[in-house]
Structure 1
Amino acid sequence: MLIAEVSKTYDISADTLRYYERVGLIPTVNRRANGIRDYDESDLSWVEFIKCMRAAGIQVEALIEYVALYQQGDETNEARKEILVEQRAQLVKRMEDMTATLKRLDYKIDNYDRIMRGDIGESKCGAESSD
């Protein structure tokens, strides 16, 4: 599959795909005789994996290390697992922080709904109190 097709299929710019390859986020993509990248199923699996991990906020550096270890073979399984466990813990923490922020926003929105309905006066809650 050519880079334009991969770009369209995965909604990732061609420049981003080239960057991913250049920094080692995806292994080197095979090229046709004329030098044009030709993504195979393995390459597409990497693109999908990296897109998923980046969407979750996984650090680029951790993913580069993970891919480099993967390319070294099965003897790096434990190290790769450690990277994933660490990144998972960071993701769980971010989710907890986001959940707390969401609750805070819900409270503030509900408070404004009460003010606009006249259930409470604005002076009782303060325009931007820390709640």
Structure 2
Amino acid sequence: MKIGDIAQRTGLTAHTIRYYERIGLLPFAPRDSTGQRVYDASVLTWIEFLGRLKTTGMSIQEMLRYAQLRAQGEATEAERAELLAEHRDQVRIRVTELQACLLVLDTKIANYAAAQSRTEKCKTQSNTKRIRKAA
């Protein structure tokens, strides 16, 4: 797959893909006869995984560490598992924090909805009183 194909399928820019390759997050892709990078389709799964790590707040340095361990093969599986377990713990803490924030937002929104409902009820009652007085 060419870099444009990878970009289109992953949503990353070609610049980002080249950057990831340059810093070591992606393996160097061999070049074809025209000098263009040719990626194996398996890179899509790896890029998706990197995207998940990024979304969950893993730093580039931590992702690089994971990528380096991955490149070393099976001998680093325990260390990779530990790195991911530590990151998972941080993600769980963040999810708990976000759930607490979501509860506050939901409560605020409900309070605004209730206040708006009371205001509309008061307006309706006021209009009804005016109509009765006018009649």
Q: Return the TM-score normalized by structure 1.
A: 0.83
Task: Determine the structure 2 residue equivalent to 1:20.
Answer: 20
CA radius of gyration, larger in: 2
Query: How many residues of Structure 1 are paired with residues of Structure 2 in the alignment?
Result: 119
Percent identical among aligned pairs is 36
**Residues 1-131 of structure 1: matches in 2 within 5 Å?**
1-118=1-118
Q: Secondary structure at the match of 2:42?
A: helix
Once the two structures are superposed, what CA deviation does each residue of 1:41-92 show, in whole Å capped at 9, x if it has no partner? 2322221221222122222211110110111121111111111001111111
Name the structure where helix makes up a greater proportion of residues: 2
Counterparts of 1:60 and 1:24, CA distance in 2: 10
Q: 2:10–2:44: 8 Å Cα contact kept in structure 1? A: no
Specify every segment of 5 or more residues in structure 1 that has no aligned partner in the other structure, as ranges: 120-131
Once the two structures are superposed, what CA deviation does each residue of 1:89-117 show, in whole Å capped at 9, x if it has no partner? 11111111111100000000001111111
Q: Return the TM-score normalized by structure 2.
A: 0.81
Aligned CA RMSD, in angstroms, stands at 1.4
Specify every segment of 5 or more residues in structure 2 that has no aligned partner in the other structure, as ranges: 120-135
Matched to 2:57, the amino acid is G
